[in-house]
Every structure is written in C-alpha cells, then in structure tokens.
Amino acid sequence: MIMKMNGKKRKGKRVAAFLAALFVAFSCLPIDFGIQEVVEAAKASQGTALLRILSTTDLHGQGTTYSYDSASIHKNGSLAQLATVIKQKKAEITEGNNGNTLLVDCGDTIFGYGAAAQLAGNVSGAQYMFEEMMAMGYDAITLGNHDFDYGMSYIRQATEEAGITNKIVLGNVWDAQSKQKIWTNSKIISKTMTTTAGKKKTVKIGLLGCTVPALSSVTSSKGIAETQDMIDYVEENVDAIREKGADLVVVLAHAGIGSDTDPVDRFDNVGYQLIHIDGVDVVCCGHSHMNFPSADEKTAYFYKCKGVDAETGLVDGKVLVQEADHGQALGITDLTLAFGSDSVSISQRKVSVEKITEDVAEDPDVLAVDSNYRAQFEELFYAGKAELDANANNYFGMIEDNGLIQLCNEAKLAYGKRIVAEKAPEYVNFPLIAFSDHKMAGENGGDDYLSIDGNLTVKDLLNMEVFAQEHIKVYYITGEQLREVIEWLAASCYLEPGMQQLENWSNPTTKNLVDSQGLCPVLSSDWESWTGLGVFDGVEYTIDTSIKPRYDRTGYKVINDTHRVTSLTCNGTPVDDKQVLVLVSKGISAGVWPNIGAKLKKQLIVPKTERLVDVLEDYVQQRAAGGSIHLSADNNWHVDFVQGGNYLVKSSEKSEEEAAAKPWYVQEVLRENGYAYYQAQFGDA
C-alpha cells in the first residue's frame, strides 16, 4: 500500500531533519561558544549525505562465470555477478535516500587466453572486459601491470575501441618520446545528492590513479613508456587536485596493501604508505589478490600493522580497501559527508568487503555483451589438436601415475632439453627433471576431472596447464631440496589407517562413511581436494604412508621429523643430497613453494619464456604429426599403502568401469552428487 503524506507531515519531517542537523552542529561546538556563533553555525549546517564507493580489481578476464582461461564454469566470481550486487548496492544509496555512488576499478582487467585470442585475431570485436565495464557504468578505472602484457599499442587500441579511454586515470605513466601523459593524470568527478536537511549539494571527488612502475614483466615498454614511483606520484598530485576544487581525494592504486615496513619496498605493495599521505581520504588497492578488511587468513598479518583497527578495518581512521581477484568480492566504502553552506567534510567512515557466492545471479546486461564473444571462444576451445589412440583420464591420479600428467611432464622435458642447450649449456650434462601438478581433481564437482574421449582439444590443454600467466622456468635444484618438495607436494597428502576419526572432514559424505563403515580415505582432510598434488618425472620415488607426513598442507610447517620418501633415484641411482639436477617447472617463489621457494628463486638458470600451455600444445602437435598419440604412464612413482587397510577412494561416478578393473578395487559403496566412493585394499608394494 502506498500512503500519501499530507503537507503537515511533510513539513514536520523537514523540521525534524533541520533540528537533527542543528543538534549535530551544536554537539561539535566548544562549551563557551557564543549565541551569535551558534546561530551562524546553524545557518551553515546543510545536513549530511552518504557517498558510497564501490570498488573492484584484478578481474583478470573473468567477465562471466564461464571462464575463457579454462573453458569451464567458476560460479563464485565474475564481473557479471559483481554487476548484480553493484546494482543492489547502488539501489540502497539513491539520491532520494540522501546519497550517491561512485564505481571504480583498480586494474588487471584483461588477462589470459581471452585477451591473447583477441590479440591474435582469433576473436573479433572490442576487448570484451572493457566493453562489459562500459555497460555497467564505471565512473573511473586505472590499469594494472597485466593490462600491459600484450604491449602498449594493444592496451591503447583496446581501451579506445571499447570507448573506455576517458574513464582511465593513470598518472604515473607517460610517453617516453613526447614526455606527455598517455592517460588522464587526475580527474574530478562531481556527484549531486540531497542532504538530510533537504538541500541539493554537490561533492567533488578527486581521483588519482597509479600502477606498478615496472608495468608488465612479459612485454617490455622500454623506450615506449616511462613511469614514476607510486608514492612520489600521489605526493606530488594530492595538493594540486585539492587546489582544483576536490572536496575529497580517492586514490585508485594497482598496488597491494603492503605493510608498515620501514624502509619501504616501493615496487608494488604500497597501499599502507599511500593512505598515510596527507590529503588522501581513501585508497582502493589491487594487485595482491586479497580481501581487506576481512577475516581471511591471507590478510591476518596486516592487522598487526600500526594504526590498523581490527574492529572497523580503518587504517589510522582512513579507508584502505582491496578485493580478491577474478570478481570474487566487492569493496564497499561508505562516507558520511557533512555539508556547510560552502564546505563539505567527512564525518564518518565505514568500509567492508562483500564476497561473491555461488548463488549470486549474473547480470543480464553483462551477459548480453558477452554473448557477442561466447560462440567465437567456444569454437576455439573445441578445436581438435590431436587424436589419442585411446580415451584418457586422471580419475585416480591421487594414487597412481597417469598418461595425461605424464604428457605435461614429457612436454617440459623436451622443451627443457632444447632451451638448456641454447641458453644454459653449462648445465646440459646434469639430470633433467620436470614437475607438473593436477589442475582438475574433483574440487568443483563430479565432472571436475580430466576425461578425454580421444580427441584432444584446446579446452583439454587449458585444463591440463593453466594458461593465465604460467610460464616455464628452468632452475638448478639439489637432491636435498628435491626430496623436501616431494615430501610436501607428493607425499604429505596420504592418511594412515586408524587416523581417520581424528580428521576434520568438510565433506559430510566422507565423514559418514568414516563413521558408519570405518573406511579410511586415502587422502587426509586437508587434501580432500587434491588439486595441486605434484608429480615429478626424470626421477623415481616411493612414498610410505605408514610413516607420518613431514609437512602440513600449506608447506610452511614441518609437523613431524619424518620422511615418507623412502626411495629417491635418478635412472636407478640414489639421488645424493648435494647432487645438482635441472628442474623444468612453472615459476617458483616463496609463496608457491614455501619450504624452498625463496632459495630456488635464486637458482634460476633460464628465465620464463613460453607459456606452459603453449609448450604443451607445440609438443602435442609435434607428436600428432606422426598420427594418433599413444599415452602411457611410466609409473616412476609409487605409493605404499598399509596392507589390510580398508581405504576409501573418491572419484567421478564415470570412473566405475575403470575402478572395477583395478587390483585394489573391493566394491563401490556409494554414488552421490556425481561422485563415486570405492572401498579399496592395497596389496604388496
């Protein structure tokens, strides 16, 4: 029912609002303030209004839940889902409700297979991510380092074709020849709103934008663009934009939140330093793929920094906000603005991050733009690259070698042999080994396993090696280091019988089978999802699951002074701790391999060159030149399970026929939600 308010009631509401505004004004005055000053202050008070800043970052080509990096569905993050939530958040803060909104993004918008396919001319049209952002009505964006991965000319062309160039604020990048800024150095956006006192007021929002000075690590901009330190840029421009009339200043920084470390590493993670620059009111961050403020473990360290309020998320009373990558979250900053007759100030600040969940619907406007590209991408994804002489899968890749991950390692070994000879010949006589990890291992449903019907497609290759920014690198590694990594990535996942009741099972079906039938899952609760489980080729190794695991799931912590790797050989000869081997792998860092990553990073002998998936595709096509490809695992690794133990093996329900042929198979105990659960007993090693 719509009720019509009469004139007296409307007048009463205006009087109440005016009195409330007077109360706010009076409460801020000193006790000895004179009556004339009180009257003048009352005249100056024009009420309050709410400015809501909605921020996104690091979308990485994830326009919809259909990922163009993997040709598969990821339901908990996309620009289309963000758009749905953004519309809801905007509707809460409308002009009639004493407010207005500002929608911004902090870069790394384009990325991966989608951008590469467009750059190669395989998909026509404007850059789809920028076109979708235009449909959403972004007020301003800045650019991230990965936006430059495809070259300076491409990013300039892509933004122009999508019509988003005038939305870009990026002041710490300029043309190397003309010395002129390539994009807008700073911008003032005006937002009009109705205050609680019924006054129409306009706030002028000053925007500064900056990005990682090194720009891309993939495509060089040397001689094309020059850059400036982000802190220096903001310090030099904040007063100037205030002088131009900005009532408040928001920094869009493709920079991580960083820390209070002194001296500061000024390369990329400088959000903490930016928020402490005088004149800056809000810093929207990106780059480091985390949510702040949040209870996420990834950002727990930041709450230990000086001035960070654990309760409000404010940093020395100001707003620093960042959202996770691939559209997984939306930053929400609410600023209560107090207006005078010719002034505006921030009287209250509130900040939060809202995570995108699987049940968030996709916005039809974004889907409509994406529909112009979807069919073109699908045609690419299902293009055949080779014929296999038999079907292949990784249904039981957690307990035995398989031909698909063997293929990934064979491609790396072939590439490593060539590239070492070309670029690091001093290592050509050292043993060559390769590492690959599983990408699809049932984490996202019963169909989330690799299963190829004989026709190997681009989609299959993208699911075997993540496209994104994964490039091959070559390191030297000692025998001792190799053993430690195998202990973590290949051996720590297994559970010994008798321990299953002590585990914290997140899957209720697993817990029920443990409790009701006493079955012991082959994998511990920390490894229920075995995505990331590693396989090494070029060496042979045996894992004894009767020994307690050495590492926890993260690889950061040694939990037992034990070694499950009971045998490690290279061509049948035991690997000595001091022996040097050459490792061909994805890029390794302390964050990727925490136990030895920092050391291995210094042992790089061939920097990243080709993408992993491109190397795999080249290798597949070379083998396919001779006809259909035969895949076979060399079974260079083996897991010794406890004899007589009643184990539980979980896989796709489509694995039934293959499971029944395995020597460990006892029976299928349950089929549910696309998964099959098998009772297993393992015999002699």
Query: ∠ at Cα 126 (124, 128), nearest 5°?
Result: 100
Q: How far apart are CA 114 and CA 378, in angstroms?
A: 11
Q: What pLDDT does 23 receive?
A: 47
Q: What pLDDT does 644 receive?
A: 87
Q: Cβ distance 470 to 587 under 8 Å?
A: yes
Could you give the percent of the chain with pLDDT greater than 70?
92
Which distant-in-sequence residues (6+ apart) come within 8 Å of 668 by Cβ?
656, 659, 676, 677, 678, 679
Query: ∠ at Cα 375 (372, 380), nearest 5°?
Result: 125
pLDDT band at 95 (very low <50, low <70, confident <90, very high): low
Q: Cβ distance 479 to 581 under 8 Å?
A: yes
Average pLDDT over residues 29-46: 53
Average pLDDT over residues 288-309: 96
Residue 286 tokens, joined: 């990106």
Top-confidence residue, 540 or 470 = 540
Residue 284 tokens, joined: 């929207």
Q: What pLDDT does 21 receive?
A: 47
Q: What pLDDT does 219 receive?
A: 86
Q: Please, what's the b/e burial string for 306-345 (b: 16 or more CB within 10 A of its CB; e: otherwise)?
A: eebeeeebbbeebbbbbbbbbbbbbbbbbbbbbbeeeebe
What would you measure as the largest C-alpha separation in the chain, in angstroms? 96
Identify the CA nearest to 325 among candidates 78, 587, 70.
Answer: 78
pLDDT band at 74 (very low <50, low <70, confident <90, very high): confident
Q: Cβ distance 562 to 657 under 8 Å?
A: no
Secondary structure (DSSP) of 117-166: HHHTTSS-SS-HHHHHHHHHT-SEE---GGGGTT-HHHHHHHHHHHT-GG
For 16-25, 83-92, 270-279, 495-504, which range has the lowest pLDDT when averaged over its residues?
16-25
Q: What pLDDT does 601 receive?
A: 87
- pLDDT of residue 10 exceeding 50, the answer is no
**pLDDT tens digits, one per residue of 134-172:** 999 999 999 999 999 999 999 999 999 999 999 999 999
Average pLDDT over residues 350-362: 97
Q: What pLDDT does 390 receive?
A: 94
Strands (E), 404-502: 432-437, 451-452, 455-457, 472-478
Phi then psi for residue 435, to 5 deg, are -130, 135
Average pLDDT over residues 198-217: 95
Q: How far apart are CA 309 and CA 469, in angstroms?
A: 35
**Could you tell me which residues are beta bridge partners of residue 435?**
536
Residue 32 per-residue DSSP state = T
Residue 449 tokens, joined: 């396993």
Residue 611 per-residue DSSP state = B
Which distant-in-sequence residues (6+ apart) come within 8 Å of 172 by Cβ?
210, 211, 213, 227, 228, 229, 230, 232, 233
Q: What pLDDT does 642 receive?
A: 94
Q: Cβ distance 584 to 415 under 8 Å?
A: yes
pLDDT band at 34 (very low <50, low <70, confident <90, very high): low
pLDDT band at 417 (very low <50, low <70, confident <90, very high): very high
Top-confidence residue, 14 or 242 = 242
Give CA 222 to chain center in angstroms.
Answer: 28
Secondary structure (DSSP) of 532-582: T-EEEESSEEEEETTSPPSB-TTSS-B-SS---EEEEEETTEEPPTT-EEE
**pLDDT tens digits, one per residue of 562-581:** 999 999 999 999 999 999 99
Instruction: Give the mean pLDDT of the chain.
Output: 91
Q: Cβ distance 269 to 287 under 8 Å?
A: yes
**pLDDT tens digits, one per residue of 612-660:** 999 999 999 999 998 999 999 999 999 999 998 999 999 999 999 999 9
**Could you tell me which residues are beta bridge partners of residue 337?**
49, 346
Which distant-in-sequence residues (6+ apart) come within 8 Å of 622 by Cβ?
none
**pLDDT tens digits, one per residue of 449-494:** 999 999 999 999 999 998 865 689 999 999 999 999 999 999 999 9
Top-confidence residue, 363 or 38 = 363
Identify the CA nearest to 95 among candidates 157, 33, 141, 50.
Answer: 50
Count of residues making up the chain: 685
Q: What pLDDT does 592 receive?
A: 82
Q: What pLDDT does 468 receive?
A: 66
